[in-house]
Structure 1
Amino acid sequence: MSVRSRTVHRTLRHLLRNWALFVALVVLWELVTRIAEDTFFPPPTVILGTGARLWLSGPAGQLFLTDTVFEDIVPSLARVLGGWLIAAVIGIGVGVALGRSRTGMDYVGPLFAFARAIPPPTLIPVFLVLFGIGTSMQLATIVFAAVWPILLNTVDGVRSIDRLQHETARSLRTPRHYWIGMVVLPAALPKIFAGLRLSLSIAVILMVVSELVGAVNGIGYELLFAQRQFDFPVMWAWIVLLGALGYGLNSLLLAVERRALRWQPARNTQQAQQLEGA
């Protein structure tokens, strides 16, 4: 069996095992909720039916998507991705600068430690005063929370570059912009991606929290509205949708990470060892 065939076989086996466990848990959830008949915990079939009615019962001209998709889900996704991308740009840029500096973190490290210790939801009233109710406040909340894992992982990644790489680039008189783009960032990518994955999860959480307080639309707003109306199937439908969106975004980022880090010898060696053990 070729390496490619073994890789495909192992991937399919892994997917089947994971999905089998997931299906088993859903079936167990269905049975338990049917037996309990608890109003607060509807069965998965009821939740899925409610979700289909909420989001997939629109006209054919809208690909059967309802207005709720465009008025609530799309704005929430835009806030998550917009805030996360802003945090990525700030975190990577500042992280590279501080990682390249010998004394930068000595000055700003205590300030960063103080800012990171502040729970982002407690700053929502401050952002409401500064930006008012709307997308600006929500983006500020997401960026403040999501920037720290990216920034600190970038600093750590930049500082972990091998000394031999420094000496080689210096002996070749490599220009600074080539040095950063061709050596520093590629070497720091594993830790940068680790920060990006963590910050993406944080961005989803803070999107929901900010929409619970200062929003007139969005997933968090609809979730809170359903809870106040005691419409538990709708509430659970939004909760399940959040889990699906988080899983999908994380899977996309993992796919990008695998493709971006294919060149790393350590990663290739690890994959080869996994194939041998399969």
Structure 2
Amino acid sequence: MSAATTTARTAGGAGGAGRAAMRALHILLLPAVLIGAWWVASLVSGVYYLPTPGEIAATFVEVWGTERLLEDVLPSVGRLFGGFALAVVLGVGLGVVLGLSARIRALLEPVLEFFRAIPPPVLVPLLMLFVGVSTTMKLLVIVSGCIWPILLNTIEGVRAVDPVLVDTCRCYGIRGRRWLTTLVLRSASPQIMAGMRQGLSIAIILMVISEMFASSSGLGYTIIQFQRTFAIPEMWSGILLLGLLGFLLSVVFGLVERKVLSWYNGTRAAARGE
């Protein structure tokens, strides 16, 4: 290996490290500025309802220990995952059927549009009457909201399957379950994953709303109890925990999405000549 090659590789490595450092700086800069502005505003205003980030951080460590983690956080996360998983199964299953059959889609579309227009929070009192204040009620609230982006994206993804690929599968005798998994679901998977990402953010919101309405545990219940007892730093610590939970779920979903759609991302990169 020549000295020039070694120097070039060293310079390239240094350049990559520098770009990574700049990217990390850009990512952390805005949160640091916002926290600093919040800190200054809380100190200048002196408002009781606006504690400093330092107070919230100290309260966060104190409040969300092991006991409250087991009693409130884990049940909420369990209901979130349960409702989201049920919405994915129903949304993808019904979306595939409606996407493949124009006749069934035309028959059900008015009813689906009617139910889609109903805000999920208004269903909470109705569900409380039918199924009571239970885990089932909270799961149904989550499903009633986050199923729609999954369902609609699945329908559009299935309808957009390339007709040339459909004819190719027909020529090679690819039918039934293999046709569904190899062609239909694979072709629609980018839009299905986009719908799932939207549905996940809605599921977090509805998880909190369902627990605020009627519950004796969970993040939503705990935050509203802190607010009612004027435990303001504790209330802010719960909001902070929800933000961190949403951010963590977004990161994990992004990793899963990249894994599932690795073929799609590779195809797009090849089409761009990268």
Tell me, yes or no, if the aligned pair for 1:262 and 1:268 is still in contact at 8 Å: no
The 3 A distance-change label for structure 1 pair 197 and 75 is same
Tell me, yes or no, if the aligned pair for 1:73 and 1:219 is still in contact at 8 Å: yes
Q: Using the TM superposition, give the Cα deviation of residue 212 of structure 1 relative to its aligned residue in structure 2, in angstroms.
A: 0.6
- Does the alignment pair 1:20 with 2:21? no
Q: Within 5 Å, which residues of 2 pair with 1:1-278? A: 13-56=22-65, 66-264=66-264, 265-269=266-270
Q: Using the TM superposition, give the Cα deviation of residue 108 of structure 1 relative to its aligned residue in structure 2, in angstroms.
A: 0.8
> What code does the residue aligned with 1:245 have?
L
Please give the secondary structure, in 2, of the residue aligned with 1:173: coil
Tell me, yes or no, if the aligned pair for 1:54 and 1:68 is still in contact at 8 Å: yes
> What code does the residue aligned with 1:15 have?
A
Please give the secondary structure, in 2, of the residue aligned with 1:38: coil
Query: Which segment drifts farther, 10-19 or 135-144?
Result: 10-19
> What code does the residue aligned with 2:142 have?
I
Tell me, yes or no, if the aligned pair for 1:261 and 1:267 is still in contact at 8 Å: no
Q: Structure 1, residues 122-143: CA drift from partner, whole Å, max 9, x if none?
A: 1101110111112111001001
The 3 A distance-change label for structure 1 pair 260 and 40 is same
Query: Which segment drifts farther, 5-14 or 153-162?
Result: 5-14
TM-score (norm 1): 0.89
Q: Using the TM superposition, give the Cα deviation of residue 169 of structure 1 relative to its aligned residue in structure 2, in angstroms.
A: 0.4
> What code does the residue aligned with 2:269 have?
N
> What code does the residue aligned with 1:40 have?
Y
Task: Give the aligned partner of residue 4 of structure 2.
Answer: none
> What code does the residue aligned with 1:148 have?
W
What are structure 1's unaligned runs of at least 5 residues? 57-65, 274-278
Q: Using the TM superposition, give the Cα deviation of residue 115 of structure 1 relative to its aligned residue in structure 2, in angstroms.
A: 0.2
TM-score (norm 2): 0.90
> What code does the residue aligned with 1:238 have?
G
Task: Give the aligned partner of residue 3 of structure 2.
Answer: none
CA separation in 1, counterparts of 2:271 and 2:134?
46
Aligned residues: percent identity?
Answer: 37
CA RMSD of aligned residues (A): 2.0
> What code does the residue aligned with 2:77 have?
L
CA separation in 1, counterparts of 2:261 and 2:17?
19
Tell me, yes or no, if the aligned pair for 1:157 and 1:192 is still in contact at 8 Å: yes
> What code does the residue aligned with 2:64 have?
W
CA separation in 1, counterparts of 2:200 and 2:85?
9
What are structure 2's unaligned runs of at least 5 residues? 1-7
Tell me, yes or no, if the aligned pair for 1:124 and 1:210 is still in contact at 8 Å: yes
CA separation in 2, counterparts of 1:55 and 1:270?
48
The 3 A distance-change label for structure 1 pair 153 and 8 is farther
Q: Using the TM superposition, give the Cα deviation of residue 102 of structure 1 relative to its aligned residue in structure 2, in angstroms.
A: 2.3
